[in-house]
Structure 1
Amino acid sequence: MALPTSSPHPADRAPLAARAEKARQEMVDRLEGDGVLTGPLLREAVLHVRREVLLPHAYVRTSGPGIEPIEWRLLDGSRPEDQAEWLDLVHSGESVLLQRDGEPLEALGRGPVTGGHMTSMSTYLALTVEALQRLRPTPRGRYLDLGPGPGVSLALAAAITGPGCATGVEQDGHMAAFAQRNLDRLGLGATVVQGDALDGHAAAAPYDLIHSGIGVPRVPRAWVEQLTPGGRLLTTLATRTPSWPGQLLVTRGPGGRIEAILSGSPRGHRPLHGYTWLTAVPLRPRIADDPGRPRATRLAPPPDDAHAFWIAAAYLAPGLLRDFRAPTMTIVAPEDDSWAVADPGGTTVRVHGARDVWAELEDIHARWVRAGRPSAYRVDIPAADGPQHVTSGTGPHALVWDLPSLPATPGPAESGPHPT
């Protein structure tokens, strides 16, 4: 049974449109109430871009974490029996799952589905809003979206920039065609081309703004070269841990000088297809049975909003991640069969395995404090391909590291907060 590439039956069109408009207004009210949505231009775009057109179907996971094969249920927005749940989901602000294993999107059947893994989803809306507000699109500004998936962020940008100014580069051919078809229905004048996001899109360069919907370990040189003087680029810097993403804002000065600032973030885009994610899921039963040997600690559990500390930990103590579903702070090194479970009171910690991950965090925290508790880091991006150097500043106590190299091939982007 095919999913819709056209509008629902005329008898359902008016009530569905009215329900969708009401859902968008409630979504905007929530974003404003949470302090996420503040810009007037973007507010109008979020209020008027019809998400139900861009997201005409959605997968819902029905099996628990760690269970294979995964069980799904596909909601079809054209079916009255699915519409209430589908409308709530696509306007919830959460990511909407759209594609399994790079499948074609023209003839998906509603109902139960077994197996496969998601290769494309819409972006967690708060992340999209935050990114666009940092980039500040303006009318007639040239905008490039890398890895736009179904085109939600691209549509919002196009609603602000105007027709012919917003372009997306999507690696997956099925998703590129799906997004273009739905964007055309909105009449925003946005274009999606199939291609390698790491190459940008030189044909329409230069751009005033570039947004990457894929996490990358370092900034591809092509992206910087395609920025106009005064242009800005925003991307997630991804490590193998999903727990502590970084947001990198790159500015190309009028003279061509590149400035780049890395800050920690509670959420970010997932990295390129082919990345091997660290996960704590298989170790959860063992951690519950044996949290480890207790010892005193000189480090109380750092707060979640100490983002600059946590992003430093992602690089300086590689291979760690946090299990956000644990009842108390739990940091795991899955490849070393090691973990630490912190006492909420901050006086003791339980450690297990050959790697004392809590001792590593104690050391990094002490170094971060000696460095002056930096809230962000400078990234040096050379004129030619070479090491991209991160530093918290100058002086003997500065925190420093180099960003890893790029993988060979990009893939579909997925987004969301703390996947573990």
Structure 2
Amino acid sequence: MPTELDTATNGRRAAMVERLESDGALTDPRLRDALLHVNREVLLPHAYVRVSDPGADPIDWRLLDGSHPEDRVEWLDLIHSDESILLQRDGEPLDALGRGPVTGGHMTSMSTFTPGTLEALQVLRLAPGRRFLDLGPGPGVSLALAAAITGPGLAAGVERDPHMTAFAQRNLDRLGLGATVVEGDALHGHAAGGPYDRMHSGVGVPSVPPAWVEQLAPGGRLLTTLATRTPSWPGQLLVTRTPKGRIEAALRGRARGYRPVLGFTWLSALDHRARVEADPGTTRPTRLGPPPDDAYGFWLAAAYLVPNVVRDFQAATMTVVAPEEDSWAVAGSGDGTVRVHGPRDVWAELEDLHDRWMRAGRPDTYRVDLPADGGPQVVASGAGPAALTWLLPPLAHVPGQPPRRPGAR
């Protein structure tokens, strides 16, 4: 007989699905059924809530324990929301966390915000019988949903943190979905279980690990975020292997993406916010009005071709900061001016790139060449002298990642 908790969680799950369908985030009927039947409360039995304001260090947190009556309503609302669920500080063990206030530490594992998970799984086109690999599954929400669709024994994940690996496997076993999590470096994939029909990376990478491409089956699809030093303009990369074995890859800009691999340091405009407000810079005319936020093809190119800058999305008008050069640009309110500060004229670089982007035909999608020999990965908007092109940085340049040995897999 259903308990009061069962009734509460089932009701919230149904309301979550209805909301996601209304918002247009959920369109796949198989995924809809999986969302209704996978018990999120098993996979997300606790959640950290940030108490401190942005920029505070150390950070104050509050841990919600889903089994505690005083936390239950807030916890249930949170894990059925569209927010990312914060689960682990600094790689801590997860089997003896104490509820309530806690100070210090930074999040090393979290669940992806639900609309992002749904977008990724729907782009992958999951279906029964397809072999699925989740690279960096964290608590296993996307892995559980995939396993509910593919069937038992076909869905696996590779997680580098031993505590999160054990935590996710224990919870997945409780759901009885036949999904497996192995401890290892997600950048190496999981050759023993391949090749895979569908591969999903829950972490952003600066370029595509050769092992991922090698483990993709004919007809397979791989989805990942390409990470740069700025979190402002992420790119979503879809890699496909044709039935004849040819690799094709398309990169598109998105409003949000996955966090980068551990050790990758993002730039931040936060430390400059007060200074920008106090001294926005010298006013000059500009031929470029603030490009719209949804000009994803332009902003994606800016992440690479106007490097080491970051946008402050909390500013009243468009503000772009180059923290390491102590430079910034503040766009005017449609009056044909911009204010610039510092030795680097960030806005002039954006003006030049916008001209090039227009000449290239305002590309929204970029082709990525992934050489089979592991050579340089080149991004291009097309062919000809007007095309926008750039190189993806090699994996060896990611801070905190050991260099790959020649020929190593």
TM-score category of the 2 structures, normalised to the smaller one? over 0.9
The aligned counterpart of 1:27 is: 16
* Cα distance between partner residues in 1 of 2:57 and 2:335: 37
1:99-141 Cα deviation digits (max 9, x unpaired): 0000000000000000000000000111100000000110010
The answer to whether structure 1 residue 197 and structure 2 residue 218 are counterparts is no
Which of 43, 58, 80 is the matching residue for 1:91? Answer: 80
The aligned counterpart of 2:406 is: none
Q: CA deviation at 1:344?
A: 2.6
Q: TM-score, normalised by structure 2?
A: 0.96
Q: Do 1:317 and 1:361's aligned partners in 2 also have CA atoms closer than 8 Å?
A: yes
SS of 2:74's equivalent?
Answer: helix
Q: Do 1:54 and 1:182's aligned partners in 2 also have CA atoms closer than 8 Å?
A: yes
The aligned counterpart of 1:102 is: 91
The aligned counterpart of 1:365 is: 354
For structure 2, list consecutive stretches of 5 or more residues without a partner in the other structure: 402-409
The worse-fitting range, judged by mean Cα deviation, of 337-346 and 267-276 is: 337-346
1:312-353 Cα deviation digits (max 9, x unpaired): 000001101111111111111111111111123251111111
**Structure 1 residues 407 and 89: alpha-carbon distance in aligned structure 2, compared to 1, 3 A threshold:** farther
Which of 141, 154, 168 is the matching residue for 2:157? Answer: 168
For structure 1, list consecutive stretches of 5 or more residues without a partner in the other structure: 1-9, 413-420
The worse-fitting range, judged by mean Cα deviation, of 24-33 and 58-67 is: 24-33
Q: CA deviation at 1:31?
A: 1.1
The aligned counterpart of 2:230 is: 241
* Cα distance between partner residues in 2 of 1:109 and 1:73: 10
- Report the number of matched residues: 401
SS of 1:269's equivalent?
Answer: coil
Which of 232, 239, 262 is the matching residue for 2:221? Answer: 232
**Structure 1 residues 332 and 401: alpha-carbon distance in aligned structure 2, compared to 1, 3 A threshold:** same
Q: How does 1:254-403 map to 2 (within 5 A)?
A: 254-345=243-334, 347-403=336-392
* Cα distance between partner residues in 1 of 2:30 and 2:349: 45
The answer to whether structure 1 residue 183 and structure 2 residue 172 are counterparts is yes
**Structure 1 residues 274 and 401: alpha-carbon distance in aligned structure 2, compared to 1, 3 A threshold:** same
Q: Do 1:331 and 1:341's aligned partners in 2 also have CA atoms closer than 8 Å?
A: yes
Q: Do 1:171 and 1:410's aligned partners in 2 also have CA atoms closer than 8 Å?
A: no
* Cα distance between partner residues in 2 of 1:245 and 1:159: 29
**Structure 1 residues 145 and 232: alpha-carbon distance in aligned structure 2, compared to 1, 3 A threshold:** same
* Cα distance between partner residues in 2 of 1:74 and 1:141: 37
The aligned counterpart of 1:7 is: none
SS of 1:163's equivalent?
Answer: coil
* Cα distance between partner residues in 1 of 2:6 and 2:398: 40
The aligned counterpart of 1:209 is: 198
Q: Do 2:264 and 2:399's aligned partners in 1 also have CA atoms closer than 8 Å?
A: no
Q: CA deviation at 1:411?
A: 8.3
1:26-55 Cα deviation digits (max 9, x unpaired): 111221111111111111111221111100
SS of 1:383's equivalent?
Answer: coil
Q: CA deviation at 1:147?
A: 0.1
Q: Do 1:171 and 1:411's aligned partners in 2 also have CA atoms closer than 8 Å?
A: no
Q: CA deviation at 1:375?
A: 1.0
Q: Do 2:206 and 2:398's aligned partners in 1 also have CA atoms closer than 8 Å?
A: no
Q: CA deviation at 1:282?
A: 0.7
* Cα distance between partner residues in 2 of 1:399 and 1:120: 35
Which of 49, 52, 61 is the matching residue for 1:63? Answer: 52
Q: Do 2:264 and 2:400's aligned partners in 1 also have CA atoms closer than 8 Å?
A: no
Q: Do 1:262 and 1:377's aligned partners in 2 also have CA atoms closer than 8 Å?
A: yes
The aligned counterpart of 2:405 is: none
Q: How does 1:149-160 map to 2 (within 5 A)?
A: 149-160=138-149
The worse-fitting range, judged by mean Cα deviation, of 179-188 and 21-30 is: 21-30
Which of 33, 36, 49 is the matching residue for 1:44? Answer: 33
Letter of the aligned partner of 1:326 in structure 2? A
Q: TM-score, normalised by structure 1?
A: 0.94
Letter of the aligned partner of 2:184 in structure 1? G
Higher relative contact order (CA 8 A, sep 6+): 1
Q: Do 1:197 and 1:410's aligned partners in 2 also have CA atoms closer than 8 Å?
A: no
* Cα distance between partner residues in 2 of 1:288 and 1:408: 34
**Structure 1 residues 150 and 411: alpha-carbon distance in aligned structure 2, compared to 1, 3 A threshold:** farther
1:44-83 Cα deviation digits (max 9, x unpaired): 1112211111000000000101111100000000000000
Letter of the aligned partner of 1:394 in structure 2? A
SS of 2:3's equivalent?
Answer: helix
